[in-house]
Amino acid sequence: MKIALISSPNFKSEEDKILVNLFNAGLEKFHLRKPEHPASRIASLLNKIPSEFHSRIVLHRAHELMNDYKLGGYHHRSDEKLKEVEGSRSRSLHRISELKVENDLLDYVFIGPVFSSISKAGRKPKISLSALSNAIEELDINARRPLVYALGGIRKNKISTIIECGFDGVALLGSIWGKPDPVRAFKEFNSSIKSFEIQKNW
């Protein structure tokens, strides 16, 4: 079970230091998404993060920055035309039918909300877990398919359900940035996943 952490949409105090601590704690995939902020301010944050971690960062929206930094990939909005990029290509989806479109051209997708959102009040799932599970199972017949990350309302007590549904990973936001200590929250979430996977394999 893989973890992708999505940034808070707004800049946080000492965010660069928090991110370095998260990377050192084992975070492998960080989605940098600041939709209301210009590329110049996003670049300022990237400049504060050691280049050794840039390959773990996936960029949203400010595509022009892909030419200036060796980032891990680019994440497309659901209606955004696929771009040629260095690194991974991913997309956000909200309907099962979208899983069948261009899926051999993507490395992974986020789909949701799977549960009621933590960071966006009132945003609730429109797709049942059983339908999502069936859709992922259908993808498995493809020789090459994107990994599918569950998005929306992902809490530690949902881990077993997410794994049993066949998801390859989780995309986190509110369950990490909504905590007083995001690094500790990430470590605890990561440990919970590993513990469940060990128990499942026994």
| Residues 82 and 100: beta-carbon distance below 8 Å | no
* pLDDT of amino acid 201: 65
Query: What's the fold here for domain 2-201?
Result: TIM Barrel (3.20.20)
Going by C-alpha positions, the residue among 151, 126, 128, 139 that lies closest to residue 99 is: 139
Contact indicator for 10, 172 with CB cutoff of 8 Å: no
Residues near 67 by Cβ (< 8 Å), separated by ≥ 6? Answer: none
Which residue bears the tokens 């909005």?
A: 77
Distance CA 86, CA 77 (A): 17
* pLDDT score, position 47: 98
pTM for this structure? Answer: 0.93
**Tokens 């659901």 label which residue?**
78
List the one residue out of 70, 102, 65 whose CA is nearest residue 86: 70
Domain extent listing, the chain:
2-201
What letter represents residue 130's amino acid? S
Low-confidence ranges of the chain (pLDDT < 50): none
Residue 39: predicted pLDDT? 97
